[in-house]
Amino acid sequence: MAVGLHPPGELLAIEGLRLGTAEAGIRKSGRRDLVVLELPEGAETAAVFTRNRFCAAPVHLARQHLESTSPRYLLINTGNANAGTGQRGARDALRCCQALAEQTGVAVDRILPFSTGVIGEPLPVDRLISGLPTALGSLRPDGWQTAAEGILTTDTVAKACSRQLELDGHTITLTGMAKGAGMIRPDMATMLAFVATDCSVGGPLLQRLLQGVVDQSFNRITVDGDTSTNDACVLVATGASHCRLDALHPEDVAAFAETLADLCRELAQAIVRDGEGATRFITIQVEEAASAAEALTVAYCVAHSPLVKTAFFAGDPNWGRILAAVGRAGVDDLDVDRVRIWLDDVCLAEHGGRADGYSEEAAAERMAKQEIGIRVALGRGNASETVWTCDFSYEYVRINAEYRT
């Protein structure tokens, strides 16, 4: 059950980019599970990938291909991660790229593969390849909605959005889509995300922009603390608007970066809102930290605590669990007398214990809401960071217990 999340609204086409889908039966029949993105000649592409040491075969191959040339096609499948599959997985990923290259007339290294789904099972290459003609035949500029549906796994809602801004007399469009609901604690990227713009952006600037916005969006969410083997986030600039970002004033670059960041935050938060079995969307803000790294460490310690997450599912203002998570976050010289903790506007703890005037009834009222905020002031400095997470429900256990059945 997604928390405050609705199907995408109007998704704007990005001139020069087309998307197509197919039902290839990679894991289940009767659902879209194969997506192809066609990029125009001359487009710039940036990407970030998982740091999981067991990263999937398509991650290795996508990195290699991106380092050698500019891609023309992105090939995405769901239902099978092609991770933990050794040398066979590497051969299978390459074989899929070769098949698409043959059907499109491009060099094989101009195709970037992406996979998501069950880990440790061989990729059904023949089924994937058999779906390519249908995916290519359905390529269209307005294919974002069906593509967003085609990359889902345990998600309950497609996640996609668009933004526009004016730069130097040009209307610039950005559209993106993402998937993810479980195994979410990104490290460099998210489960899978694909964003495109018609702005012209040079490769080095595009990579810097992507890394910057990912660090403030996809790298600030967690559902269960598990980093996927297949995480990837891709940003494509087609240049069709003929507005070159590199040549604009710094304030224009900043405006573009903020619009991109706003789009990515919406997609990242949508992943948490659709966390497997989620019933609460939780914002954790840690302030007055000695450093940003310290603030994030404390925020994630609270966000990853099963006791905190199950209390939120129950609507139980068991503030001692939050207090304990802050205390074990590894800030060795933390002065607990200076720490304050709030549940929305209700002060839970201060001076090392329960806050004066604390009201269990008021706290329970806040806990009954679908969207809840935790704020922690450490009393150590001026740094602050925000992390978004969700609760743990019975449904999360059921989904993951039955994931392969």
Q: Say if strands 232-237 and 281-289 run parallel, antiparallel, or are unpaired.
A: unpaired
CA 61 to chain centre: 20
Q: In sequence order, which residues have a C-beta less than 8 Å from that of residue 258 and are 6 or more positions away?
A: none
Q: For residue 287, how many other CB atoms are within 10 A of its CB?
A: 18
DSSP 68: H
Q: Which of 190, 222, 227, 283 is catalytic?
A: 190
DSSP 249-279: -HHHHHHHHHHHHHHHHHHHHHHHHT-TT--
SS (H, E, C) 290-321: CCHHHHHHHHHHHHCCHHHHHHHHHCCCCHHH
User: How far from 142 is each of 14, 15, 368, CA to CA, in Å?
Assistant: 8, 10, 40
* Rounded distance between C-alpha atoms, residue 170 and residue 167, angstroms: 5
Nearest to 71 by CA among 124, 104, 109, 125: 109
Contact by Cβ (8 Å): 22, 135? yes
The torsion region of residue 360 among left (phi > 0), alpha (psi -120 to 50) and beta comes to alpha
Clarify whether 190 is annotated catalytic.
yes
Contact call for residues 39 and 17 (beta carbons, < 8 A): yes
The three state secondary structure string of 72-117 is CEEEEEEEECCCCCHHHHHHHHHHHHHHHHHHHCCCHHHEEEEEEE
Cα 213 to chain centroid, rounded: 11
CA dist 303 and 226 (Å) reads 12
Longest dimension (CA), the chain: 71
The residues facing 377 across adjacent strands are: 287, 340
- Which of helix, strand or coil describes residue 128? helix
By annotation, the residues acting in catalysis are 190
